[in-house]
Structures are given as structure tokens and as C-alpha cells.
Amino acid sequence: MVERAVGERYVLHHVTLSVRDIYKTADFYAVFGFKLVLRWVDSDDSLAIAHFARKDGFILEMFQYGRNGGRSRPELEVGNDLEDLGVKHIAFKVSDIRAARTELLAIECGELTEIQPGRTGVEYFFVADPDGNWVEILQDDRSLDSENPVALRP
């Protein structure tokens, strides 16, 4: 029998994105505290891999394949086509959703949606990165407890 993962044994490490331009995308994610810590380039320049880390240790890994440089930005629905299977987006928690949106607008970070009330009790908005991936910014003031899960309905 396989033992189930419990507690701190598995620690969140990284998320990976395939991008058209590592440095253009890195500038976008620098707003969220990511800085370059590692870069690898294949001898024929067909692939570059870079790791960008935050002070909390979380890493954003980027793959830049040479063949993708000239591709156009994909047209993704807000949230990155949530109805389709697969990983959808990265989310960053903030203490003041309105101040965060104002700040991102002021620095012209990217295309932003309006602030929305979430069905799960948070407020959120999305901002698009240079490759059209939607990044969620949310304010979560809930006190969730795994011993007493909350059941919500429309």
C-alpha cells in the first residue's frame, strides 16, 4: 500500500512557463518579486532555460524554444481557458485588491480585468503576461480550516 503524502513532506517548488522571450517575460514577473538565479542555453541556441526565484524560495522556471520566438501571442480566455483540462494560472495573494490593481495599472504591467467577487469568497482580477497567460491577483480574507471545511452553493 502506498503511503499518502501528509503535511510538510511535499513543498511547493516551482511553476514552469514556455515563453517567446525570457527577458520580456522576466520583466513582467519581476513585479511579483522574481529575480534571475539560473540560466542555461543549449549550444545551438535552440533552447534557453531560466529560473527566477522569490525571497520565499518559490521558483518560476521559463523555457524559451527558438522556434517560438516568432509565434504570435495565443488567444486565451481569462483564467487561461478554465473549462479545458490542465493547469490554468498562477495566483498571487494581496492584502488590498484595489491598491494592487491601481498599482499594476500605474506601471502599465499588462492587460487587466476588473475586480470580481469570486464564487469561493475571494475578490480577484487577472493581468495578462507578455505571452497572454492570465495571472490572478486575489484578496483572500477567509479563515479556512481543514478540520471544518466550508460548503458553498450558488
DSSP 24-57: HHHHHHHTTT-EEEEEEE-TTSSEEEEEEE-TTS
Q: What is the pLDDT of residue 148?
A: 87
Q: Domains of the chain: which residue ranges?
A: 9-66, 89-147
Q: For residue range 133-143, what is the model confidence (pLDDT) as tens digits?
A: 999 999 999 99
Q: Which residue has the higher pLDDT, 19 or 146?
A: 19
Sign of CA dihedral 20, 73, 101, 104: positive
Over range 64-92, report the average pLDDT: 82
Q: Give the CATH superfamily of 9-66.
A: 2,3-Dihydroxybiphenyl 1,2-Dioxygenase, domain 1 (3.10.180.10)
Domain at 89-147, CATH class:
alpha beta
